[in-house]
Amino acid sequence: MKKTVEKEISVRFENITKTFGSVIANEDITFDVYKGEILSLLGENGSGKTTLMNMLSGIYFPDEGNIYVNGKHVSISSPMDAFSLKIGMVHQHFKLIDVFSCLENIVLGIKDKEKADMKNAALAVKEICDKYGFELNLAKKVYELSVSEKQTLEIIKVLYRDAEILILDEPTAVLTPLEIRNLFAVLKNMR
């Protein structure tokens, strides 16, 4: 007899509802995301996909329903709450400082002195890049980067902050077909 391996749930949305005045962005949304799973939310513009992910990343708070992370009921009322739960979000509109280098952007805002140290950060980021197959010149200024490189930088930035749950908002919207294939290859490798 074969043993069935029960998959561990990483994130559970349970009866999530979010409204903005009379506009219902999400209504009674329930689904699970399993560890190691790559999941896409598909829908038309304005259908509530980003709103739902913004609740997981702490930008919005649900009006109704519950969110569970690794089996625990959680209250995520800020991006700091999300970071403490090892949730990182890469927004469609990147949150980078153009005149800073890639490495400076990665450590920007980190309070842990050891992690904020540029020499330590450079070594740790190189390990992340090697592990997942990212290619990025850490000395380059953000204004010198392609859109694909900026997205890579954002992903590395959340991984450097120890994210285990990664949310990508509209990750293919501004990429070429080749860049999309490369992104999917990296995501499969990260899984």
Query: What CATH number did the domain enclosing 13 receive?
Result: 3.40.50.300
Band of residue 2 on the pLDDT scale cut at 50, 70, 90? low
Q: Assess whether 81 and 94 both reside in one domain.
A: no
Same structural domain, 63 and 29: yes
Same domain, 77 and 106: no
Length of the chain: 191
The answer on 94 and 79 residing in a single domain is no
Domains of the chain: total: 2
pTM of the full predicted structure? 0.85
Nearest one of 45, 65, 46, 69 to 57, comparing CA atoms: 69
User: Are residues 113 and 80 part of one domain?
Assistant: no
Domain boundary among 60, 85, 110: 85
- Is 173 found in the same domain as 95? yes
pLDDT in tens, 17-73: 999 999 999 999 999 999 988 888 888 888 999 999 999 999 999 999 999 999 999
Query: Looking at residue 20, what is its pLDDT?
Result: 96
Q: Is the pLDDT of residue 178 over 90?
A: no
Are 16 and 42 contained in the same domain? yes
How high is the pLDDT of residue 177? Answer: 86
Domain identity same for 116 and 41:
no
Same domain as 96, residue 172 = yes
Instruction: Report pLDDT for 39.
Output: 87
End of a domain among 85, 115, 131? Answer: 85
For the record, the structure tokens of 22 come out as: 């009379």
Query: Do residues 137 and 109 share a domain?
Result: yes
Q: Which of 59, 85, 111 is the last residue of a domain?
A: 85
* 109 and 164 housed in the same domain: yes
Q: Which structural domain, as residue segments, surrounds residue 163?
A: 87-191
pLDDT band at 5 (very low <50, low <70, confident <90, very high): low
Residues 117 and 34 in one domain: no
Contact by Cβ (8 Å): 165, 68: no
As a whole number of angstroms, the distance between CA 58 and CA 34 comes to: 20
pLDDT at 4: 55
Least confident of 9-18, 63-72, 162-171: 162-171
Q: Give the tens place of pLDDT for each residue, 96-144.
A: 999 999 999 999 988 888 888 899 999 999 999 999 888 899 999 999 9
pLDDT at position 92: 82
For 72-168, list the strands marked E by DSSP: 72-74, 87-90, 165-168
